[in-house]
Chain A
């Protein structure tokens, strides 16, 4: 069937058609929809794992047991899962195992712009790079054949513009796949004696994969004009075709590790000028140069941000027109916490108390945006607690006004180990777990603290309070961030005490379907004195009109945090 399909959904379709039975992932933009779409098929198993490392190890176990398996993560997620990946390269697989890593050139929803191709090279595993949805489906299926033929996990690199673009695909039928598990200590038990024997096998496999790359349909030459030859991959290929059509020769690489040296050398001989067009790091360019070939790339196009057709036009000196613009300054529109977001009341309190706030990855990172601006650091998943430990260990005084803030999903992902360190090595800071009962930023995925599985069915549930106590934190309490007095009292008290503590700021995400909203609030213009106290919380539903606060009833969910700040009790319910 011919349909318009999101790149990530096309990967899921490819998994289904390849007979994959087991998928385990941790959500991360732009990879999340692969797992969400896969679980919609009948008779397959998919799950959200606590983090990417656990997901990859679980997929490895399923492969070992003889079933084709899969895990997906965003680029930084692969850092978390790098440990199993680098040694799975040595063990190889039983049934095929494929891993998607989704890069985010342009950082639409990420904290860095790292290039995952470096991981493929360092781990010595093959990497495929689809350039649209049709290739995402086709390459995913082919990746399983490569995985089994060469006995290796296979990385498929997506990027935002392939993962989140829809293009036309042809779907096929599912083929079931089953293999038996066979005990093989020398292959699967990676202790030094065995690993020493596996390493030469890995190097030989890379040589064979490079040979395969020379003739694989993954790499193709599109002969056009010989005045310019462009080597490219992934979404960059589409921009090149958009600008040049068939007027230049293109070597499109669908497999970017290992590279086909002869194919590249022959292509280089046919063209007068050779340029590599690749986003982020000059990985292909450096490899081509190391082959002794004269090549351009980074001299024309930057290694920062994503490309587009105009960037390619500019790099090659081609003209393009730009539309009109107004003389007015157009104010920026950064993302903000939603109206009714339970994090808002907490961040308002942390700002009021002038706390140093060590942050983490999630919607609450938006606590850094003015007017709240109540965040001092955000690094990676789980780093808030680790950093709090170090920060307060070297400065005892700091423990009196420094907190870590971390979401429920992020806490389970990699905050727990940080808390173990706080308890074990006895630092004295206050950790606030923002429990909104969902993984928010990636679009509402369940996690081990919500009590539901990926399908929303009842599942195991971590009791966060009991967990923190079991780890050795004596002071664990719950507060409601909609109640400003309660949350302020909790933060003040825990900061004043000379030992580590955990506050669970608990209130479900306002966007969850099961959350019942109260009637929107309305400002009594006669009572409002225009003091702007309610504007300090940065709620997108509140603005000033004619020196009076007004509430947008379309956005307001009646959380009442603004009302708690009003000195004149001007906020009333629309119903009341």
Chain B
């Protein structure tokens, strides 16, 4: 029996994590796994810190991932990577965007945005794959494609054919943005 695998997708409300979780969920479903995805809607989406859970395996019970359980953290923003770090399992893998988005307490001067977060996480012996997804997304044609760039990078860690990833992406994005998203996926994958 396959142990349930856990992915958490973290970021700032409005960054597109719902689409990323939808694609991952569909992908694992197509591979024949039992899947659960848990999201947060409403108040937290207004620029707050958001976390989405994706779990797959032979039989998945809980819809959420708890601290110390995540095989993967997929992060849209480096401060959020640090915030949810304790959710990573020992030997888990982080795939993160290096982008920094200042939260309101930092903007108002009530708090400081910590420096060199990726290096500090690495120094803890944590496996972290960090890249500038915003830049790659812009290269692909839209700053909004950060989510697909991240999935492209994440695809390294799964033994799933690129064709299948692309099929699932095609199912989930509007046709006119398909080429852009395919490009974003490859840029992330080959970064």
- Name the one of A235, A328, A363, A369 contacting B63, with C-beta atoms under 8 angstroms: A235
Contact yes or no, B68 A323, CB < 8 A: yes
A344 → B minimal CB distance (Å): 12
Given A166-B37, A242-B62, A335-B47; A326-B25 close (CB under 8 Å): no
Q: How far is B135's CA from A206's CA once the two chains are assembled, in angstroms?
A: 63
The yes or no answer to B188 lying at the interface (CB within 8 A) is no
> Which of B13, B106, B108, B114 has the largest count of A CB atoms less than 10 A from its CB?
B108
Contact yes or no, B87 A335, CB < 8 A: no
Question: How many residues belonging to A are interface residues under a CB distance threshold of 8 Å?
Answer: 60
Stretch with Cβ within 8 A of B (4 or more), from A78-86, A426-434, A537-545: A537-545
Contact yes or no, B79 A324, CB < 8 A: no
The yes or no answer to B86 lying at the interface (CB within 8 A) is yes
> Which of B44, B49, B66 has the largest count of A CB atoms less than 10 A from its CB?
B66
- Name the one of A109, A160, A238, A324 contacting B85, with C-beta atoms under 8 angstroms: A324
Of residues 119 to 133 in B, which have CB atoms within 8 Å of A's CB atoms?
120-121, 124-126
- Name the one of B110, B111, B143 contacting A554, with C-beta atoms under 8 angstroms: B143
**What sequence of 0s and 1s flags, for each residue 425-448 of chain A, a beta carbon within 8 Å of any chain B beta carbon?**
000000000000000011100000
Q: How far is B62's CA from A542's CA once the two chains are assembled, in angstroms?
A: 40
Given A167-B35, A333-B12; A242-B40 close (CB under 8 Å): no
Q: Which residues of B contact A327 (CB under 8 A)?
A: 120
- Name the one of A29, A326, A330, A371 contacting B41, with C-beta atoms under 8 angstroms: A29
Contact yes or no, A165 B39, CB < 8 A: yes
**What sequence of 0s and 1s flags, for each residue 18-57 of chain B, a beta carbon within 8 Å of any chain A beta carbon?**
0000000110010000111111111111111100000000
The yes or no answer to B160 lying at the interface (CB within 8 A) is no
The yes or no answer to A54 lying at the interface (CB within 8 A) is no
B135 → A minimal CB distance (Å): 12
Contact yes or no, A334 B48, CB < 8 A: yes
Q: Which residues of B contact A161 (CB under 8 A)?
A: 38, 63-64
Contact yes or no, A326 B46, CB < 8 A: no
Q: Which residues of A contact B102 (CB under 8 A)?
A: 540, 543
- Name the one of A32, A33, A322 contacting B67, with C-beta atoms under 8 angstroms: A322
Stretch with Cβ within 8 A of A (4 or more), from B88-96, B148-156, B174-182: B88-96
Contact yes or no, B47 A540, CB < 8 A: yes
Contact yes or no, B46 A363, CB < 8 A: yes
Given A4-B26, A164-B38, A323-B68; A332-B103 close (CB under 8 Å): yes
Given A4-B35, A242-B62, A331-B111; A324-B104 close (CB under 8 Å): no
The yes or no answer to A30 lying at the interface (CB within 8 A) is yes
**What sequence of 0s and 1s flags, for each residue 322-361 of chain A, a beta carbon within 8 Å of any chain B beta carbon?**
1111111111111111100000000000000000000000
Q: Which residues of A contact B113 (CB under 8 A)?
A: 331
The yes or no answer to B82 lying at the interface (CB within 8 A) is yes
Q: Which residues of A contact B89 (CB under 8 A)?
A: 321, 323
The yes or no answer to B117 lying at the interface (CB within 8 A) is yes
- Name the one of A165, A326, A328 contacting B36, with C-beta atoms under 8 angstroms: A165
Q: Name A539's closest neighbour in chain B (CB-CB).
A: B107
Q: How far is B14's CA from A32's CA once the two chains are assembled, in angstroms?
A: 18
A66 → B minimal CB distance (Å): 35
Q: 27 A–B contact pairs at CB < 8 A?
A: A4-B25, A4-B29, A108-B41, A108-B43, A162-B63, A308-B64, A309-B69, A310-B67, A323-B67, A323-B85, A324-B121, A326-B120, A330-B82, A331-B110, A331-B111, A333-B83, A335-B13, A335-B43, A335-B46, A335-B47, A336-B47, A337-B46, A366-B46, A369-B104, A441-B43, A544-B107, A554-B143
List 19 additional contacts besides A166-B39, A241-B62, A333-B48; criterion CB under 8 Å. A29-B43, A161-B63, A166-B38, A167-B36, A168-B29, A320-B66, A323-B68, A323-B88, A324-B125, A326-B85, A329-B111, A330-B83, A331-B113, A338-B47, A370-B105, A370-B108, A535-B108, A543-B102, A543-B107
